[in-house]
Amino acid sequence: MIQHMRIAQLRVAARPAQRLGLQPRSGRSGLAVLVTLALILTISGLLLVLQQRSLSNRSVLAGLARAYATDLAEDAVFARARVLLANAMTGGPSKLLLDGTPLVLDQEGEKVALAAFDVSGLPNLLYAPQELFDLIPSAPRDLAKRRDALFNVTATATPASAAAQFLARLRLSFAERQAVLPFVTISGTSRQIAPLRAPAAIKEAAERLPAYFLSNATGQTVRVGLGVSGH
């Protein structure tokens, strides 16, 4: 009996460790850890993607809100400008002058400069004589000669939006075009200027011109400019 017990003990001791269930338990535990880590990494990645999408959506919504607010502010400025312009053109009460004098508007804390030019107070690029161009300090003294050499003034007038291009065709430098453009027009067919509507920079000199260069008529076209005021 004692021998049988010893033999059984020896057989048990001789069994491999695997057969006692030690190694399989360790393998299953390691696999579970790997699976858990993989799940954590996957969930973290999904949370990061969702967070980035949320931030992107917030940025888009904020941009849309700013654009909408800007559009509303612009519409409000244009509405005020239309009223001021209508009154100025019809002789009604208006702080806006049609000689290019800027009128600063306060729109929700922003300063906006509004300027309007009655084109009857500006020399016409297509028809005006050199005497009217000489009113502009920075204009070339042969501007009319260049114009006549380039363009038949009896032809259909170029659209007003092409005034800068027309000055370029007259070989004015960029700096000259920028200086001359505010004081000229290609709207209408007049060879005269209305000094009462002329910009302040040329009004005094225009009033001293001989009568045949001057006109009392006011035009039907007004050029309007809007910009942010530095005041």
What would the pLDDT profile of 48-99 be if each residue is shown by its tens digit? 777 777 777 677 667 666 665 556 667 787 888 888 888 887 877 788 888 8
The residue among 166, 160, 167, 163 whose CA lies nearest residue 187 is 160
Range from 64-78, 124-138, 147-161 carrying the lowest mean pLDDT? 147-161
Asked if the model's pLDDT at residue 31 lies above 60, the reply is: yes
pLDDT score for 36: 80
Contact 209, 131 (CB under 8 A): yes
| Alpha helices for the chain (secondary structure H) | 2-14, 22-90, 130-133, 143-150, 163-169, 174-180, 200-207
Nearest 5°: the CA angle 218, 151, 118 is 15
pLDDT score for 35: 74
- Which residues are 106's β-sheet partners? 111
Asked if the model's pLDDT at residue 135 lies above 90, the reply is: yes
- Token reading at 69: 């607010």
